[in-house]
Amino acid sequence: EAGVVQSPRYKIIEKKQPVAFWCNPISGHNTLYWYRQNLGQGPELLIRYENEEAVDDSQLPKDRFSAERLKGVDSTLKIQPAELGDSAVYLCASSLAGEYTGELFFGEGSRLTVL
Amino acid sequence: GENVEQHPSTLSVQEGDSAVIKCTYSDSASNYFPWYKQELGKGPQLIIDIRSNVGEKKDQRIAVTLNKTAKHFSLHITETQPEDSAVYFCAASINTGFQKLVFGTGTRLLVSP
């Protein structure tokens, strides 16, 4: 069975440019997470979806970040405009709904470099 | 909110030695403590977890211990192998009806042959 798929794996952009990341979770996983991982740090939650609903976006910088999960499957995370401090790895993860102690399955991440 | 501290940041051992990574958490309401392994260029992968009603859990060469009173938990790897080399993250979560993990800052483990 395929794991969590993310694209692109790498993205280099100039500051003030927009960028978007795409995630396809494991089939049957209703819960989807976007994490940001800065260099040498642990992942930090940006937003969590239960199906189509964003149930926790308290850590998402809403002035420049947006996310959507249409039809409750794939998700897109967008940054517009990007700033130098947004350089990081953006990780998508999924899990079975309703399992607060369930395993998170992470994708390989999208590494963003903002110049 | 929850804060998880992890140490050491780097750990070098010889193949066959044991490795211990320690974490402390701040919120006494946390009740779920997973450990994730992240290899270079990959996403984190769950290797073991423990719930607050258990003091110790073992799975082959890895074990996790939890001290709720002191609010710390540890990962123990015995008979280390070169393929154990990776970054290890501890995390803590409170039961709010959904999983909101707070990760530590990671420990880079290097196992030399």
Is B59 exposed, middle or buried, given 0-12, 13-18 or 19+ CB atoms closer than 10 A? exposed
What is the mean predicted confidence (pLDDT) over A10-17? 97
Give per-residue pLDDT as tens, B6-49: 999 999 999 999 999 999 999 998 989 999 999 999 999 999 99
* Residues 51-80, chain A, touching B (beta carbon < 8 A): 55-56
Contacts of A41 in chain B (CB under 8 A): 105-106
Distance, CA of B73 to CA of B34 (rounded, Å): 10
